[in-house]
Chain A
């Protein structure tokens, strides 16, 4: 009935050879899921950054709030990801948006905390100098605090994205797609070892690559390294 080549040799292969065979057979599908996985993670972190960076600045100015906000974000972080997905599924149904919201919630803590720490660590003398030059409050934030805190904020984003890529892999259970689909399929197949690798290795590589790129960006944005150049 079905005419697919190379069926006989396959059973003789080891896992690595099977992995190569699987990638050759299903390359485009694998790539689609890779891109999808990456986008889900990125969207979640991006939305979190839009909320958490301004929030971080705000609580740096209103220290009384800081404990409450960081505390709340901490509580969210302690919920296991599978439980969080299941809870959100009740409200938002199955599908990709539930996973993006989950990633969003997990990304809040590292970004808020780092933004807060970054802004707090800006030398008061710099702020005073800015005031002395007649800068408005907005200019102080935009021209002094933000550039000085940027590398620390970036460290928070980096942390968030690496966690996000891991969380997205579990998103397969609410029908979001991504590389988790491939891992899950490998678990279900009777000879699925190679399929599991085909899903897990790209997931790990994506996390490592995201970490390296953002680490590089973090170094670039560090005021100290900008001066020394």
Chain B
């Protein structure tokens, strides 16, 4: 290889590197002096909404420019994106998923212990801070119609025991085979069984119980249809399901560079209740409103949580 060719090669490869470092007109965010952060989310409606809530908060309280990268395939991919420096903030992780997924640990059913393990694991393995929960949990939930709940005075899963033998149950396909918090483990913990258990597509269980085809179903606790179909969520009184409370997380390096981001994420602690998340999911999924719009409406309806701690001054010049 002659010197000239080597030079050409060097020029080409440096051009390639530069191309990945800066953004092309029309595609990147306008770089602002105050700085830029990227928020990564998975593809579920709920996570995308949370991503835009974080973005809305950052826009409201700072002049930092925040981009949302959505539709990443898995929670591992989001964490990897942060670890590689492609993103700064993960809009939402579920404690139970993070524990068994990214950290590869055994499930822990005690909520505090699980949270502690994830907080520590994220710090040590990924240099990420795992923030306090948004306040809602997206876990498996046993659901019955309000009529059935009233008739038998059902509040917890244990209350089902005397009548379970007469009930047909529809459950998530994958739950039947799951280890740790699946059907077999459920039988051991609660020591009762239903008359018949039908594995179903998770999206169909809500309609199945509302229409009366099933007496009880196992669904996801933040699905919007729970509220709109007036279903009752039975409390997991024996703490059988691991905690799936949702939390944001962020790189320690980013928090050091932008201390404001830390306060903004702390401000969201406990601010989103399960019913509110259900409603937002419902509006986005059933009424075709973009998650970004839903997020902004939610923040405006709550005045961007200006009254909650830590107190922050809204950024002026917008």
Contact = CB atoms under 8 A, between A and B. Distances in A.
Contacts of B293: 25-26, 29
Could you say which interface size class chain B belongs to? Answer: 35 or more
A175 B40 contact: yes
A188 B284 CA distance: 11
A26 B301 contact: no
A175 B71 contact: yes
B161 interface: no
Contacts of B23: 96-97
Contacts of A40: 27
A192 B285 contact: yes
Given A3-B297, A173-B73, A189 B276 contact: no
B48 A7 contact: no
A175 B81 contact: yes
B46 to A, nearest CB: 10
Nearest to A86: B73
Interface string A83-107: 0000000001111110011000000
Contacts of B291: 185
Looking at A22, A25, A95, the one whose CB has the most chain B CB atoms below 10 A away is A95
Contacts of A185: 43, 45, 48, 71, 290-291
Contact of A94 (B26, B44, B48, B86): B86
A194 B287 CA distance: 10
Interface of B: 19-20, 23-24, 26-28, 40, 43-45, 48, 69-73, 77, 81, 84-87, 203, 225, 276, 279-280, 283-294, 297-298, 301
Contacts of A43: 24, 27
17 contacts: A1-B301, A2-B279, A2-B280, A2-B283, A3-B297, A39-B27, A94-B81, A181-B71, A184-B43, A185-B45, A185-B290, A185-B291, A188-B45, A189-B285, A190-B285, A192-B285, A195-B288
B69 A189 contact: no
Contact of A1 (B77, B84, B279, B292): B279
Nearest to A180: B71
Nearest to A36: B27
Could you say which interface size class chain A belongs to? Answer: 35 or more
B48 A97 contact: no
B292 A92 contact: no
Interface of A: 1-4, 7, 10-11, 18, 21-22, 25-26, 29, 35-36, 39-40, 43, 92-97, 100-101, 172-173, 175, 180-181, 184-185, 188-192, 194-195
B297 A11 contact: no
B20 A26 contact: no
Contacts of B45: 185, 188-189
B283 A26 contact: no
Contacts of B72: 94, 173, 175
A93 B40 CA distance: 13
A175 B69 contact: yes
Nearest to A95: B86
Nearest to B25: A39
B113 to A, nearest CB: 32
Contacts of B69: 94-95, 175
A86 B71 CA distance: 14
B84 A93 contact: yes
A4 B203 CA distance: 24
A67 B289 CA distance: 53
B26 A2 contact: no
Given A3-B297, A94-B87, A10 B203 contact: no
B24 A100 contact: yes
